[in-house]
Structure 1
């Protein structure tokens, strides 16, 4: 097998984030389910934006956040996601390239605008997302560069991408190419509502070995196996996938493989500000550790550290060098 050009390549919905700190009343006035992600159309996006007040705006998207985190740890990273050739799309492309990431997906010349997610953060730090996919849903198999996929040690796929049919086909094409080149494929389940929609299909991806590694949080795991018992769900996960990583908020995470289960504690924080990106950055740390072959426990600790950094400020991307932070905390980078 040839040496990899990239440690991790992410494929996801290229989404621009619009974040605002608000109260529970705003959520109920707009009929939002706290803590979840809803897909919305352009008129609803405009209505929410009108009512939001002063916001923080930045490039986002789940897999893109993960890839930015991986680059911040010092790995070689690439990203595949669709934007439109509009003002926000150009800003998005600039941001991801400025983070040192290879981003070569051709922007759409026509069709819907670059996607946006309107993220409401309540005083408890919980985030509620309303996502207009826009151009992101027009990712197709033609946007998958076989050479780039084959040159990536790990291909990381975003569960949110399973909504549009053409993106789903792109996802499977990338996994097939990766496995053909002897590479690993990872999937994040993204959201329990996402799991509710595609439970059977996600389980099939795991059981037929389209994916080798799955990331889930507790609610996604319970949704996947339709049980409220954590140990039952974890046992099932271990039988369905070679490697499963379950994040448990302040309880840390568990790394489950055929060989056993490793529990890794959460990293201490001074104050929880915004949970947006917590799972994305955890995945960044874990995938970095996996690419560097530092073992499941150290990978879990790197994930916990990256997640702890991002939840202590507004926004889903790190504000300091994660590589430096890991060094300061005695973690392998």
Structure 2
């Protein structure tokens, strides 16, 4: 999707407040490509995770992609540049696929990447009245996808424009029901401010644990957030769940689920091809993954799972049905490259939901 020039700054909030808000302090653009293993062998850091890089390394990776891209007969475009970021993926999924009024709070720059982010999110119906324009570059991320669909992220946040804690106001959160956030130690100040204000406005908080590196390296402030009792819903994948309990005798997903459920009303641990487990109060459910399809690209799988799960929550559905819808939407995004679901794959999901007797969004009618 091209970066069309749009009127700046963005309009003030008008009409109905978003039911679900996403806090993504820095707008971000993903460069997603399928690459051979030799490139992954060259770059520092563990595969499958997310490790920040500087602008020079980002440019080096983008240059290296030209000689390492894997040809794909199923996808004529082996590389995509799209609006990204975990929270943005979840919010876009809620609006585009589930018809839930949703918005983003954050900052972008008036550069090519910022304009692309704004155009893509606007096109998908996301409310951007909480997005502020600032001087500087928009954040970028290289998403390297191997032949098996596993993705390795290298975000570049160096000098990127960012929303600050003192720029948040109660008006940003008024009349919304949920705030979606991703744990990041460099955003800790704005995360804490957002939680404080959101709670004053009666808004529920959803937190994603981000990456196993973030949990491993910055576990202490994460535990403070969880133990505060302010997090209503927490999402973790299997690797993040294991890191959360590193050093404990039992580090399996069930133990992590029980730990999270002590502090959060809803706790969810996603298990990739093995589905997910979730807990609310004393209720525990295990839901299998949807189908046996090989993943083209796992980018955004957890983010879109959250879209489906949150759709179920705001519709008042039982825990198991929330998980099943999350499994459907998470399984939808892995059918193509990047964290944005194609119109064809949304239709695939609606058909799957109908077959399984799940509540289908009105948007597909």
TM-score (norm 2): 0.84
Does residue 114 of structure 2 align to residue 83 of structure 1? no
Does residue 230 of structure 2 align to residue 218 of structure 1? no
- Aligned equivalents of 1:306, 1:20: Cα separation in 2: 21
- Aligned equivalents of 2:255, 2:98: Cα separation in 1: 34
Checking the alignment, whether the CA contact within 8 Å between 1:82 and 1:136 is kept in structure 2 is no
Checking the alignment, whether the CA contact within 8 Å between 1:206 and 1:212 is kept in structure 2 is no
Runs (4+) off by over 6 Å: none
Please show how residues 198-277 of structure 1 align to structure 2 within 5 Å: 198-226=218-246, 227=248, 228-277=251-300
Please show how residues 297-316 of structure 1 align to structure 2 within 5 Å: 297-316=320-339
The structure-2 alpha-carbon separation of the partners of 1:135 and 1:103, relative to structure 1 and needing over 3 Å to count, comes to farther
The structure-2 alpha-carbon separation of the partners of 1:279 and 1:137, relative to structure 1 and needing over 3 Å to count, comes to farther
Larger mean CA deviation between 317-326 and 176-185 belongs to 317-326
Question: How far apart are 1:288 and its partner, in Å?
Answer: 1.1
Does residue 134 of structure 2 align to residue 108 of structure 1? yes
Question: How far apart are 1:134 and its partner, in Å?
Answer: 4.2
Q: Deviations over 1:206-230 (max 9, x none)?
A: 1112211110011111101114333
- Aligned equivalents of 2:104, 2:303: Cα separation in 1: 14
The alignment's C-alpha RMSD in Å is: 1.9
The structure-2 alpha-carbon separation of the partners of 1:272 and 1:133, relative to structure 1 and needing over 3 Å to count, comes to same
Checking the alignment, whether the CA contact within 8 Å between 2:304 and 2:329 is kept in structure 1 is yes
- Aligned equivalents of 2:348, 2:338: Cα separation in 1: 20
- Aligned equivalents of 2:347, 2:232: Cα separation in 1: 26
- Aligned equivalents of 1:150, 1:173: Cα separation in 2: 15
The structure-2 alpha-carbon separation of the partners of 1:230 and 1:106, relative to structure 1 and needing over 3 Å to count, comes to closer
Does residue 177 of structure 2 align to residue 153 of structure 1? yes
Question: How far apart are 1:302 and its partner, in Å?
Answer: 1.0
Partner residue in 2 for 1:26: 39
SS at match of 2:236: strand
Larger mean CA deviation between 322-331 and 219-228 belongs to 322-331
Partner residue in 1 for 2:195: 175
SS at match of 1:81: strand
Larger mean CA deviation between 224-233 and 207-216 belongs to 224-233
SS at match of 2:61: helix
- Aligned equivalents of 2:132, 2:258: Cα separation in 1: 42
SS at match of 2:206: strand
Which residues of structure 1 form unaligned runs of 5+?
none
The structure-2 alpha-carbon separation of the partners of 1:103 and 1:143, relative to structure 1 and needing over 3 Å to count, comes to farther
Q: 1:60 aligns with which of 84, 89, 107?
A: 84
Which residues of structure 2 form unaligned runs of 5+?
1-15, 70-78
SS at match of 1:17: strand
The structure-2 alpha-carbon separation of the partners of 1:89 and 1:134, relative to structure 1 and needing over 3 Å to count, comes to farther
Question: How far apart are 1:158 and its partner, in Å?
Answer: 1.1
Aligned residue pairs total 324
Question: How far apart are 1:260 and its partner, in Å?
Answer: 2.5
- Aligned equivalents of 1:157, 1:137: Cα separation in 2: 18
